[in-house]
Amino acid sequence: MAVAVLTPKEFDYNGAEAYSDTADYVAATAVDGYEFLNDGKTIVNIKNDSGAVALTATIDVPNTCDYGGTTVHDVAIVIPFGDDWIIGPLPTHIFNAPDTGKVTIRLSAFADITACAFKMT
């Protein structure tokens, strides 16, 4: 699976910040999804500008989930066309791959999809 790597931008706990630098958003064209280092305080903004296609963003859960039982299950989030969603923060003991410390989000569509990760400091 080819994924685009997101480098989290710092976000300050001390107050809200406006962020509109679209240059930091990574296009999903020709990739299967995104991955990023997760410290448990990282959030991802996924924008679906596809025009008419709903997007399913599936967050891999490589570890035993501590809610709703003891099975491993991925989390699927449907993002309607024209919307952008904030996902996270994601607890490390559930969502991080044990060997890399990264979260992987797979996508059902790629055209006109962008994302940026933000790390709360």
Number of separate helices (H) and strands (E) present in the chain: 1, 10
| For the chain, domain boundaries | 4-13+25-120
Instruction: Report whether pLDDT(11) > 80.
Output: no
Task: Flag whether pLDDT at 5 surpasses 70.
Answer: yes
Return the bridge partners of 91, or none: none
pLDDT at 47 over 60: yes
Percent of the chain with pLDDT over 90: 51
**In angstroms, rounded to a whole number, what is the distance separating the alpha carbons of residues 120 and 11?**
5
